[in-house]
């Protein structure tokens, strides 16, 4: 038994190394990327690198060159990781004021979701009609077009071309000593609260969003129906929620919005949990289930935009030299919190059943709502409210 555990533990350990390199080590170690050259050069360089990896993938047949395809996908993820740092740094420096932050984070969230739909749905249709090679040729032209756009856009014109700063040796020493970077990150006002928030804000929602479709598959819907309603329609509602978030942030304080939206999410989870008591299929139950999923995804999209705006508020309090690292650090934790609970949610349902599991998810959601509600009066979000109030 011990030999089996050592065997599995070692293999899962090395399986987790690439994710750790890309999500945690690279954002810290490469934090100086946008100070050696400009953000424009790093973004153009990494997007061009993505175009080149697509060109390489187009020339390789996965059936005959599996290791070559794996190498290009690894290169693609490496370019994407560095690009993420440069784009985060550009976003933090470009977006100013409540209105710009809200709309900018809407562009981030909606753009990311649209890219996922394009890759997961649109390219799947292309590969079915034209094949593997032409699918990657199309993707190569997409990346090349974006690189040319960034090269010529006036948005980054105010950024001066910089070489290594005068205190480059000091900053280089910090890069090789991540503990110093960590101390600076944690010293930014509001960071401890924001870390706890991004790790936990999606816990209850993520469990419900992941497990409720499985309940419907067992009792009320076919796989085709579920794919339509929980895939296409739900994603549409999520994008609408994310878009509305930016518009609302231009009019209201982020603290007030978050307080109300988190209460609404808890109420919607109460409604969804009540549907678990209905086992017999009926048109009414199917309609209520679709309504419940649509509301959950709409509020989830809205909360995501508010969350990334909160993260950027916090990051803009940091000194400029660590802002890109600070934001990438928070974004990594945000993804980590969702992924960890998604992996655990299925086990909770298997052990305790849907009803008890959803009671647990509802408790987590209510706890997050309380965490946010308290912060709007006495914590980090109160500062946002005071800052955002019109003069």
- Nearest partner of 242 among 196, 308, 291, 198, judged by Cα: 308
- Nearest partner of 300 among 230, 358, 348, judged by Cα: 230
Average pLDDT score, the chain: 78
Phi, psi (degrees; rounded to nearest 5) at 190: 85, -5
- Nearest partner of 202 among 359, 110, 23, 333, judged by Cα: 333
Q: What is the mean pLDDT of residues 5-15?
A: 45
CA distances from 129 to 54, 122, 132, 141, 357 (A): 18, 11, 9, 18, 42
The pLDDT tens digits of the residues spanning 362-383 come to 999 999 999 898 888 877 777 5
pLDDT on residue 102: 74
Q: Report d(CA 255, CA 381) in Å as an integer.
A: 5
Cβ neighbourhood burial of 13 (10 Å; 0-12, 13-18, 19+): exposed
Q: What's the pTM? A: 0.74
CA distances from 196 to 230, 337, 372 (A): 29, 10, 11
pLDDT on residue 277: 87
Question: 235 and 370 in contact (C-beta within 8 Å)?
Answer: no
Say whether 221 sits in a helix, a strand or coil.
coil
- Tracing tokens 């293999």 back to the chain, one arrives at 11
Q: What is the mean pLDDT of residues 107-117?
A: 77
Whether the pLDDT of residue 48 is over 60: the answer is yes
pLDDT on residue 15: 43
Q: What is the mean pLDDT of residues 84-104?
A: 75
Q: What is the mean pLDDT of residues 203-222?
A: 84
| Alpha helices in 189-230, H assignment, sequence order | 191-200, 203-219, 223-227
Whether the pLDDT of residue 56 is over 50: the answer is yes
pLDDT on residue 34: 65
Using a pLDDT cut of 90, give the percent of the chain over it: 16
What count of other Cβ atoms lies within 10 Å of the Cβ of residue 219?
Answer: 15
Residues 6+ apart with CB under 8 A from 93: 39, 159, 320, 323
The pLDDT tens digits of the residues spanning 239-263 come to 899 889 888 888 888 888 999 999 9
CA distances from 74 to 30, 79, 81, 121 (A): 17, 9, 11, 22
pLDDT band at 385 (very low <50, low <70, confident <90, very high): very low
Range with top average pLDDT, 72-81, 209-218, 303-312: 303-312
The pLDDT tens digits of the residues spanning 179-189 come to 777 788 888 88
Whether the pLDDT of residue 225 is over 90: the answer is no
Q: 303 vs 29, which has greater pLDDT?
A: 303
Q: What is the mean pLDDT of residues 8-16?
A: 46
Whether the pLDDT of residue 8 is over 50: the answer is no
Q: Report d(CA 17, CA 22) in Å as an integer.
A: 9
Q: Report d(CA 190, CA 240) in Å as an integer.
A: 29
**Tokens encoding 59:** 């020339």
**Tokens encoding 65:** 């060159």
pLDDT band at 133 (very low <50, low <70, confident <90, very high): confident
Q: What is the mean pLDDT of residues 169-186?
A: 65
- Beta-strand (E) ranges in the chain? none
Angle at 56 (CA atoms; ends 25, 139), nearest 5 degrees? 85
Say whether 165 sits in a helix, a strand or coil.
coil
pLDDT on residue 10: 47
**Tokens encoding 240:** 């609408």
Q: Report d(CA 370, CA 139) in Å as an integer.
A: 44
DSSP secondary structure string for all residues of 270-319:
HHHHHGGG--S--HHHHHHHHHHHHHHHHHHHHHHHHHHHHHHHHHTTS-
Residues 6+ apart with CB under 8 A from 197: 307, 310, 368, 371, 372, 375
């Amino acid at each position: 038994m011990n030999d089996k555990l050592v065997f599995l533990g070692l293999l899962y350990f090395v399986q987790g190394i690439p994710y750790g390199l890309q999500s945690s080590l690279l954002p810290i170690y490469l934090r100086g990327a946008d100070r050696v050259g400009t953000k424009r050069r790093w973004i153009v360089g990494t997007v061009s690198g993505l175009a080149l990896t697509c060109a390489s993938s187009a020339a390789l047949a996965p059936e005959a060159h599996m290791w070559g395809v794996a190498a290009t996908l690894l290169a693609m993820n490496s370019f994407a990781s560095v690009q993420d740092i440069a784009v985060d740094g550009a976003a933090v420096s470009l977006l100013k004021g409540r209105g710009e932050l809200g709309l900018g984070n809407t562009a981030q969230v909606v753009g990311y979701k649209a890219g996922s739909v394009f890759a997961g749905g649109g390219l799947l249709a292309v590969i079915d009609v034209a094949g593997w090679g032409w699918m990657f040729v199309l993707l190569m032209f997409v990346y090349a077009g974006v690189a040319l756009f960034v090269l010529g856009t006036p948005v980054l014109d105010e950024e001066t071309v910089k070489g290594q700063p005068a205190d480059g040796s000091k900053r280089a020493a910090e890069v090789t000593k991540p503990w110093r970077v960590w101390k600076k990150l944690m010293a930014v006002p509001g960071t401890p609260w924001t870390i706890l928030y991004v790790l936990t804000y999606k816990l209850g929602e993520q469990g419900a969003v992941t497990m409720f479709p499985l309940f419907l598959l067992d009792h009320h819907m076919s796989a085709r129906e579920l794919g339509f309603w929980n895939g296409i329609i739900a994603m549409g509602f999520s994008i609408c929620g994310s878009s509305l978030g930016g518009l609302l942030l231009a009019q209201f304080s982020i603290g007030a919005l978050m307080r109300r939206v988190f209460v609404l999410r808890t109420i919607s989870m109460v409604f969804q949990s009540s549907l678990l008591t209905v086992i017999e299929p009926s048109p009414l139950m199917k309609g209520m289930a679709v309504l419940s999923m649509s509301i959950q995804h709409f509020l989830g999209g809205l909360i995501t935009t508010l969350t990334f705006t909160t993260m950027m508020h916090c990051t803009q309090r940091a000194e400029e030299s660590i802002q890109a690292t600070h934001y990438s650090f928070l974004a990594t934790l945000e993804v980590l919190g969702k992924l960890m609970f998604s992996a655990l949610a299925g086990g909770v349902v298997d052990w305790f059943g849907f009803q008890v599991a959803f009671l647990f998810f509802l408790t987590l959601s209510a706890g997050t709502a309380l965490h946010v509600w308290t912060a709007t009066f006495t914590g980090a979000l109160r500062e946002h409210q005071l800052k955002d109030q019109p003069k």
